[in-house]
Amino acid sequence: MVRAAVLPAVNAPLVVAEIDLPEPGPGQVRVRLAAAGVCHSDLSLSNGTLRQPVPAVLGHEGAGTVVAVGEGVGHVAPGDKVVLNWAPACGSCHFCGLGEVWLCANSGNAAATPYASLAADGSALHPGLGTAVFAEETVVAAAAVLPLPEGVPLTDAALLGCAVLTGYGAVHHAAAVRPGESVAVYGAGGVGLAVLQSARIAGAGRVVAVDVAAGKEELARAAGATDFVVAGEDTAKQVRRLTGGHGADVAIECVGRADTIRTAWSSTRRGGRTTVVGIGGQDQKVTFSALELFYFGRTLSGCVYGNCDPAQDLPVLAGHVREGRLDLSGMVTEHIGLDGIPAAFEAMTAGRGGRALVVF
């Protein structure tokens, strides 16, 4: 038995309980978690914004040590340090065939299949986003386990599993930020801080961080922001003023709200690129006039998991960590236990802090 933070039902409080994990079957790996990041997507799963069968063990951003492997698993062995990949590509669907593995049609299948049970009554549990890292140990498909490159601290490596891959990919893949370009980043939470660092790594010129919380300015500037704007009614005007009056070459939205997406769009220059990373609800509607779409000539694009191939991008990120260009520990504002996750959810809802990290 292991301890885990269990979501009994949508919008219900998390309960720390003991669960029974099976031994890994063919093509599966059992991992002892070292750390797990508390991501806004976990909050969205808990409140029903994103669909997740329940009861479930949430958490999808994690790193740990392999405990056991099932038949047919050869790329990792017991004792190996690994990062969890919550969206492993199947390699055979239409999107994988196009090389767009971040859009894999089958990557979410694991979340719908029970993987463990509650020790108290034997009821089946589902793994949040297929990984269930809000637990001392988890069992996942072998494809969801990535060997951790040398030189990256294991606890910090948890952030690579979602926030950093997403933020890095948003800058380098989705938005394709070029040296010298101006970038406006909306939201300075975990993903936003990764975007800011990645914009700096890409050689961006002016980097404007925007957030509703003035207290995040120090975090944002440490990550690479040259300017900080407290979000308000004139946010787009402030960003345009800071970027020569034209607007940012690139705006990256990490919040997932209709009004923030609209503001990011309005702060982008003519011919610029607006990339949406934040996950919003179905009720969040963004409107544009046909005339402005023609006149501004901007590009608006979505971004799933940073448009990354984790197997290829993880070694690149590890290199940035080793060379001191990417600071993982600087993104963490709080170290907590499993019982601290509800408070971390509250902090995210209120727009406070960067990344809370569950350390086992």
Give the pLDDT confidence score for residue 349 in this predicted structure.
Answer: 84
User: What token pair was written down for 306?
Assistant: 């940073």
Tell me if 2-161+327-359 shares its fold with 166-303: no
138 has pLDDT over 80: yes
Handedness of CA 145, 321, 59, 135 (dihedral sign): positive
What ranges in the chain are assigned the alpha helix state H?
A: 40-46, 94-97, 154-157, 163-169, 190-201, 217-223, 235-242, 258-266, 290-296, 310-322, 341-349
Q: Could you tell me the residue ranges of all domains in the chain?
A: 2-161+327-359, 166-303
Percentage of residues in the chain with pLDDT exceeding 90? 94
Give the pLDDT confidence score for residue 49 in this predicted structure.
Answer: 87
H or E stretch at 8 = none
CA gap 133, 110 in Å, rounded: 14
350 has pLDDT over 90: no
Query: Taking a C-beta distance cutoff of 8 angstroms, is the pair 83, 148 a contact?
Result: yes
For the 166-303 domain, the top CATH level (class) is alpha beta
Q: How confident is the model at residue 260 (pLDDT cuts 50, 70, 90)?
A: very high
What value does the mean pLDDT take over residues 337-355?
89
Give the pLDDT confidence score for residue 50 in this predicted structure.
Answer: 87
Q: How confident is the model at residue 353 (pLDDT cuts 50, 70, 90)?
A: confident
What is the CATH T-level fold of the domain 2-161+327-359, as seen in this structure? Quinone Oxidoreductase; Chain A, domain 1 (3.90.180)
Give the CA count within 13 Å in the CB-facing half-sphere of 6. 22
